[in-house]
Structure 1
Amino acid sequence: MADIEDRVAIVTGASGGIGAAVVRRLTQDGVAVVVHYGGNAERARALADEVTDAGGRAIVAGADVADEEEMAAVFDAAAHAFGGVDVVVHTAGIMPLSPVAQTDLETFDRVMHTNVRGTFVTDRLAAQRVRDGGAIINLSTSVTRLQLPGYGAYAASKGAVEAMTLILARELRGRDITVNAIAPGPTATPLFFEGKSPELVQQIASGNPMQRLGTPEDIAETVAFLAGPGRWINGQVLYANGGAA
């Protein structure tokens, strides 16, 4: 793989909590980053400005992750600005919560469109365009194992993400490209806190031996490991959840 300061990463969903932390962490290692956003252009531009003001390299690119032409343009932007792509970190996703019995099909279809089709589109382009020796990192969730009520549609979509990840790792045999998924536990992002009482947040936080929520920075450290020195980890789902069962 190229020296770390020569690497180029696309981070999808970079205007969100985990995505933004990933951008900051990768640029600390000297990686040039394409800050992708789906809806919040202002936040993405502010993050890119933060990186460049600190001496890093970053550009902004907007796209619907489920639209192949729009996402192809993101990869084109990376190639034009930085010469190619070595790392793709796919954090973009949505998480509407409700019991299966109360989840309308429109919501279910929207989750599958963004989380499953969006991952397939992004991974398909990554498989075609990431340079040999690179890394593809998807975001799953520990809820696929924790079976928390209310997460049926979301967990189902992330189960599909895990399946695609593990198969793609085997399909890229011979190119020295690692493909892994990170499955965070409950993480202190604005999306996580939506609709939760302080009591519920505390209950969830106490559900692992560390007795706290994860932070976006916790997940970003795991990403940086897989994007950098973790070259012997491939075709795996890493549970970054503080030891939750």
Structure 2
Amino acid sequence: MPPNRKPTLVSNFLSVVRPNSNNNKLAPPSRYSKTFSASSTALTSTSLLGKVAVVTGSSRSIGAAIAKTLGEHGAHVVVNYVNDSQAADDVVQSIRAQGKGGAIAVKANVGTLEGGQYLLDEAVKAFGRLDILVLNAGVMGSKTISEIDETFYDSHFDTNVKAPLFMAKAAAALIPSPGGRIIFMSSSFTSASAVPANALVYSATKGAIEQISRVLARDLGARGITVNTVSPGAVDTALFREGKSTGVIDFIAKSNPAKRLGEPEDIAPVIAFLASAAAQWVNGQNIRVNGASAV
């Protein structure tokens, strides 16, 4: 090999797993004899240039961080909001200012089937296609078994389970095969060693989402559409802080090995990876992004 030429990424890897009898060095098997490059779009690219992404609940917090990160990777992003149009417009302007992907803001209550369908329709109307659906919107109420009623239960399951499921169903008819991406959001509560009693209904909805994602991955995976779940731990957002004392928040932060809460920017890059071509072989997975927290 010429002294100035570096071996490719795949060749480097394969060179340590298969012997070559001619020079007593390790070399790739014949089926991998063609030259691969570390810049191969199919295998290593995290670029989202030209892709269209819908991110529900993306005017603030984790959703806003996801929308901005997808835009940074080149995607055209549909920023969804319900009430705060100014916050949504700020996210849109931030994405446009990056000069890579376009963005629009769409008001839609994605806790309803009609709102979810409207958001998808607006995405296709604006950008002509849909490639990525990130189902981030949700509600997180806190009530114990003695406090919950049917209205509380229904509102959580309608918003956190029913609406995302039917939005995924509608999106599956629009997303290209292969290459489409559907990403659900769950919570590390579903596997935490300590779960507060008032997280009963919320945790139940996220457990349902994990099972929906797992099964859909088998169904839509046959068409080359990946379906994955990202489960953040405690993330420092207004929704997380709501109803919690400073003492409780400090306890949760200190339970993490890093002695802090997560930030929305800790979650967004994982979503961007799952949305990219580099994650084409990641399907049906639940990725817990929690800094190894036990809570």
Taking structure 2 as the reference length, the TM-score comes to 0.79
For 1:201 and 1:160, the matched residues in 2 are separated by 26
**Displacement after TM superposition at 1:217 (Å):** 0.6
Q: Judge which range, 163-172 or 141-150, deviates more.
A: 141-150
Gaps in structure 2 of 5+ consecutive residues: 1-41
Instruction: Work out which of the residue numbers 80, 102, 116 in structure 2 matches 1:71.
Output: 116
Q: Choose the corresponding residue for 2:197, options 149, 153, 158.
A: 149
The aligned runs of 1:125-140 (5 Å cut-off) are: 125-132=170-177, 133-140=179-186
Give the AA of the match of 1:41.
S
Q: Check whether the contact 1:65–1:121 (CA below 8 A) recurs between aligned residues.
A: no
Residue 241 (structure 1) aligns with: 290
Amino acid at match of 1:240: V
Contact (CA 8 Å) 1:35, 1:59: kept in 2 or not?
yes
Q: Paired residue for 1:190, among 206, 214, 238?
A: 238
TM-superposed CA distance for 1:137, in Å, is: 0.4
1:67/1:121 contact within 8 Å kept: no
| Correspondence for 2:6 | none
| RMSD over aligned Cα atoms | 1.6
**d(CA) in 2 for partners of 1:151, 1:9:** 30
> What residue ranges of structure 1 are gaps of 5+ in the alignment?
none
Higher deviation after alignment, 12-21 or 123-132: 123-132
Aligned-residue offset at 1:205: 0.9
Once residues 205 and 236 of structure 2 are traced to their aligned partners in structure 1, the CA distance between those partners, rounded to angstroms, is 21
* One-letter amino acid matched to 1:7: K
The match for 1:34 is 78
Partner of 2:104: 59
Match of 2:198, SS state, is: coil
Question: How far has the Cα of 1:98 moved from its partner?
Answer: 1.7
- Is the Cα–Cα contact under 8 Å of residues 221 and 227 in structure 2 kept in the other structure? no
**Secondary structure in 2 aligned to 1:183?**
strand
Does structure 1 conserve the Cα–Cα contact (< 8 Å) formed by 2:72 and 2:98?
A: no
How many residue pairs match? The answer is 245
Letter in 2 for 1:193: R
1:40 is displaced (CA, Å) by 2.4
| Residues 1:16 and 2:64 aligned together | no
| 3-state secondary structure, aligned to 1:220 | helix
8 Å Cα contact 1:65/1:118 also seen in 2: yes
Which of 19, 32, 46 lines up with 2:90 in the alignment? 46
Would the aligned equivalents of 2:77 and 2:104 in 1 still touch at CA under 8 Å?
yes
1:116-127 matches, within 5 Å, as 116-127=161-172
> Displacement, 1:25?
0.6
Alignment match of 2:275 (pick from 206, 209, 227): 227
Q: Percent identity, aligned pairs only? A: 39
Written as runs of structure 1 = structure 2, the 5 A alignment for 1:99-114 is 99-114=144-159
Which structure dedicates a bigger proportion of its chain to strand? 1
Secondary structure class of the residue paired with 1:181: strand
